[in-house]
Structure 1
Amino acid sequence: MFSGEAPIFQQLADKIADDIVAGVYPEETAVPSATDFAAFHRMNPATASKGVNLLVELGALYKQRGIGMFVATGARELLRRTRRDDFRTRYLRPLLEEARVLGIDSDELHHLISEEERGQQ
Structure 2
Amino acid sequence: MVAWYAMQFQFNSSEPIYRQVAEQIEDAIAAGGFEEGQQIPSTTEISKEFHINPATVLKGMNIAVAKNLIEKRRGLGMFVSQGARQRIVAEKKDSFFETFVVGLVKEAQNLGISESELLALIKRGYEQ
- TM-score normalized with structure 1 length: 0.84
Amino acid at match of 2:80: V
The match for 1:40 among 45, 49, 56 is 49
Q: What does residue range 18-97 of structure 1 map to in structure 2 within 5 Å?
A: 18-97=27-106
The match for 1:108 among 78, 96, 117 is 117
SS of the equivalent of 1:35 reads: helix
> What percent of counterpart residues are identical?
37
Amino acid at match of 1:112: L
User: Which consecutive segments of 4 or more residues in structure 1 shift more than 6 A?
Assistant: none
SS of the equivalent of 2:94 reads: helix
SS of the equivalent of 2:85 reads: helix
Note the alpha carbon deviations across 1:62-107, whole angstroms, 9 max, x for none.
1012210011111111111111111112221122222222222211
- The yes-or-no answer on 1:2 pairing with 2:45 is no
Displacement of 1:35 after TM fit?
2.6
Displacement of 1:40 after TM fit?
1.7
Amino acid at match of 1:98: E
Equivalent residues of 1:21, 1:79 under 8 A apart: yes
Q: 1:102 to 1:56 in 2, by over 3 A?
A: same
1:53 & 1:19 partners in 2: Cα distance? 16
1:12 & 1:91 partners in 2: Cα distance? 25
Displacement of 1:32 after TM fit?
0.8
1:68 & 1:44 partners in 2: Cα distance? 18
Equivalent residues of 1:35, 1:49 under 8 A apart: no
Note the alpha carbon deviations across 1:1-37, whole angstroms, 9 max, x for none.
3235543323322221222122221111110122322
Amino acid at match of 2:22: A
More helix by share: 1
Q: Which runs of 5+ in 1 are unaligned?
A: none
- TM-score normalized with structure 2 length: 0.80
Q: Which runs of 5+ in 2 are unaligned?
A: 1-7
